[in-house]
Structure 1
Amino acid sequence: MMKQIAAAAVSAALFTAATIVPLPTLAVAHAAPAKGCTDGKNRRVRMVNATSYTIQRMYGSNEGRTTWEEDVLGDSVLRPGNSVVVNWDDGTCYCVFDFKAVYSDGDTSTKRTVDVCRLETFRFVE
C-alpha cells in the first residue's frame, strides 16, 4: 500500500493536550550535533506515524545536503499511532528539510522541502 506524508502546521494556541495525549510518545530524538544553531528558531517537530505500518527508520536532511543523515530513531522504531519529537537542529541553521521513512513492509515515503521552523507536527499517513 502506498504511504503518504502530510504536514500540519499547528499554531501554539491550537496545539492542545488532546492532540498529543492519545499518541504514545517516544523520547526526544536528536538530529543535531552538540553545537546547535543560535538563531532562536525552534526546530523540534512531533513526528507522528498515522499509518498501520511500523516505521523502522526515519531520516531527515537539510536542503543543503545531497545524502540522508543518520536514522534519528536509532535502535528504536515508531509503531502505528505513536509519535516522537525530533530536534532537527543540525547546527547549520537551515529550516528546510527533506524527510524519509522506511516501513516494516519495505515501502518508503519521502517528503521534500519541509520547513521545520514553522511546523509543530508532521504526519506519515497512508
Structure 2
Amino acid sequence: MKTKLVLTALALFAATTFEAQAEDLVFKLKNNTGAVLTNFYTSPVGVNEWEDDVFGRQVLNPGEDMEITIADGREVCKYDMRFEFEEGSGLDTTEDMQDLCELGEYTIHE
C-alpha cells in the first residue's frame, strides 16, 4: 500500500512540475522596411525595463525574416517589443505589444 501511495505522489509531482514549466515562445519576424533592423528588445507587459537585445550581434536586413525564440522561462504571453533601426535610416524606433503565444508571424512595416 505504501509503495502505491508513493508512486501516486511521484506521478502527481511529475505532472505538476511538467505543467509549471513555461514553453518557449517562437515566431517569425519579418522586416518589410527599407532599413536594417539593428536591435530587437522584448519584456513582459508590466516590466519597466527592456531585457537584452534578442538579436545579439545579428541584424535583420530589409526583406529578410528570422525565427525568434523567447526562452525566458516565464509563463506569460503578452510582451512589449521595441525595434530599433540603423542610424540615418530615417525610421523611428517602434514599440508594440503582442500576445506571443498566439503570434506565428510578425511583420514590421515603415
TM superposition score category, shorter chain reference: 0.7 to 0.9
Matching residue's letter, 2:95: T
Contact 1:42/1:117 (<8 A) preserved: no
Question: Are positions 1:110 and 2:92 aligned together?
Answer: no
Extract unaligned runs of 5+ from structure 1. 1-36
Runs in 1 of length 4+ with deviation above 4 angstroms? none
Q: Which deviates more, 54-63 or 85-94? A: 85-94
Please give the alpha-carbon distance, in whole angstroms, between the structure 2 residues aligned to 1:63 and 1:44.
17
- Report how far residue 42 of structure 1 moved: 5.3
Question: How many equivalent pairs are there?
Answer: 88
Q: Percent identity?
A: 27
Please give the alpha-carbon distance, in whole angstroms, between the structure 1 residues aligned to 2:38 and 2:73.
25
Extract unaligned runs of 5+ from structure 2. 1-19
Structure of larger gyration radius: 2
| Root mean square deviation, CA, Å | 1.6
TM-score, normalised with respect to structure 1: 0.64
Larger relative contact order (Cα-Cα within 8 Å, sequence gap ≥ 6): 1
Question: Are positions 1:97 and 2:82 aligned together?
Answer: no
Question: Are positions 1:38 and 2:15 aligned together?
Answer: no
TM-score, normalised with respect to structure 2: 0.73
